[in-house]
Amino acid sequence: MHSLPDSFAHFTACPDCDLLLQKAEAPTGYSVVCPRCGKTLSRSSAASISKVLALSIAGLLLYLPAMLLPLMTFKSFGFSGSANILESILNFYRNDYYFVALMVLLSAVVFPLILLTTIFYITYKLQRKRYPSVLRALFRLHLHLEEWAMIEVYLLGILITIIKMSGTSSIAYHSGILCFSCLVLITLAISTIVDRDLFWQIIEDEGGEGKVEVLPGQHDQEAPQTAAEKGLILCHTCHKLSSVSLAGSGCPRCRAILQQRKPHSVARTWALVITSTIFLAPANLLPIMEVDFLGIPDRSTIVDGIIHFLQDGSYFIGLIILTASILIPVFKIVGLLILLRATRPGHDHFLVQKARLYRFIAFVGRWSMLDIFVIALLSVLVNYGFFTSIHTAPAATYFAFVVAATMFAAMTFDPRIIWDSHAVKENSQHHEQPATLLGKTP
């Protein structure tokens, strides 16, 4: 395959700043870090296909019980309400909160199942040394959906619901909560163990060594350059380096369309940031939850909910909700504005900090769904007839919009544009080290 000139066979590029680097394998306990922007490029991890296969089988066996068995029952005033994950979503649907229902359904039910199924099929085939071409499409799908599956956020939502109601209701726990917690642990373990570069390499080499080449002491003496400057292009999905002549066509490894930079990244990110800012107002000003007590409805906004926790002395939960529902969305919008400004010429200070900011924004976005998950559970669990019942209120839809829009904004932003706006040489003149740098695994 002549996708890459031979002289670059042992090179790769940083996905966050496009700096051209020599491939290196991290010794145990270390990770390979980009010397320019600090991005972790690879970690040392044993090629544990069988481990991931075993975990994915366990996850699939637990999946249905985790989704369908009741989690817990709340009892008060002689009434009781129990819920499983699916019911908490159906309840949004029954009350006409279609967008919220869809978002919770996808993030807590559908995407986790697709992730487990795809990684099971991929590791099963790799284990049997079979490499059908569909593996590439499936692994691509797996990597794209990882960010949108949020069962660990849902688990935190369950914990907060329990703490919130423990004062006023008696709570009985069922097997569903155990199955769901195990499912979360398994999913987290899989995403930690799966090394995307290693898996891509095994799929591409159809077995092969599955190892990244090490080239000791053979680094370039000339100033570092980006892949773009050398006429190369890094695949956004599988991080394979190809010749720029392939731009617009499929990546030779994963078949994703190759693009030098994400198309219209700045304009699209602006549009999504503005959209999220507009929805942020109704999400915070309108009530998000309604508590009917003895027939009298009491509607509360996100801020009311937080104040309620703080007045109750539940400072820890109050702070978690404050962080997830208000600080993270606002931080994301402000952060993205800073990054958008950094793409303009002349704004080239603190570039490493801005690169870190980008990675933090991309990591933290999904945790904003916390409040929605708590409301999903409360509105099913707390239904004590005439005495007390909890319902979703209109801000939930706007809030779900904000979460989705800010996540899409972080995804459409291409951090390499920040680095494009000024030459590599200027920035790297202080660096005397080789193009690959070893840093301790955080």
Which stretches of the chain bind Zn ion, using CB under 5 A?
Answer: 14, 16-17, 19, 34, 36-37, 39, 235, 237-238, 240, 251, 253-254, 256
DSSP assignments along 224-266, one per residue: P-BTGGGTEEE-TTT--EEEGGGTTSB-TTT-PBP-SS-TTHH
Q: How far is the CB of 420 from Zn ion (least distance, A)?
A: 12
Q: Which residues contact 208 (CB under 8 A, 6 or more apart)?
A: 201, 202
257, HSE (Cβ side, Cα atoms, 13 Å): 5
Q: How far is the CB of 240 from Zn ion (least distance, A)?
A: 5
Is the CB of 203 or the CB of 251 nearer to Zn ion? 251
Q: How far is the CB of 71 from Zn ion (least distance, A)?
A: 40
Q: How far is the CB of 16 from Zn ion (least distance, A)?
A: 5
Is the CB of 332 or the CB of 416 nearer to Zn ion? 416
Q: Are 43 and 195 a contacting pair, CB within 8 Å?
A: yes
Report CA Rg, the chain: 24
Q: How far is the CB of 442 from Zn ion (least distance, A)?
A: 16
Q: How far is the CB of 255 from Zn ion (least distance, A)?
A: 7
| Whole-number Å distance between alpha carbons of 18 and 232 | 10
Q: How far is the CB of 246 from Zn ion (least distance, A)?
A: 10
Is the CB of 62 or the CB of 194 nearer to Zn ion? 194
* Identity of the residue numbered 333: I
Q: How far is the CB of 355 from Zn ion (least distance, A)?
A: 7
Helix (H, G, I), strand (E, B) or coil at 313: coil
Q: How far is the CB of 41 from Zn ion (least distance, A)?
A: 8
Q: Which residues contact 116 (CB under 8 A, 6 or more apart)?
A: 56, 59, 60, 63, 187, 190
Is the CB of 94 or the CB of 144 nearer to Zn ion? 144
Q: What is the separation of C-alpha 193 from the centre of its chain, rounded to a whole number of angstroms? A: 16
Is the CB of 250 or the CB of 282 nearer to Zn ion? 250
| Whole-number Å distance between alpha carbons of 183 and 160 | 18
Helix (H, G, I), strand (E, B) or coil at 43: strand
Question: Among 310, 307, 306, which residue's Cα sits nearest to residue 371?
Answer: 306
| Whole-number Å distance between alpha carbons of 97 and 281 | 19
What's the Cα-to-Cα distance from 86 to each of 121, 151, 165, 343, rounded to whole Å? 25, 13, 20, 43
Is the CB of 242 or the CB of 314 nearer to Zn ion? 242
Question: Among 52, 54, 47, which residue's Cα sits nearest to residue 208?
Answer: 47
| Whole-number Å distance between alpha carbons of 414 and 417 | 6
DSSP state of 326: I
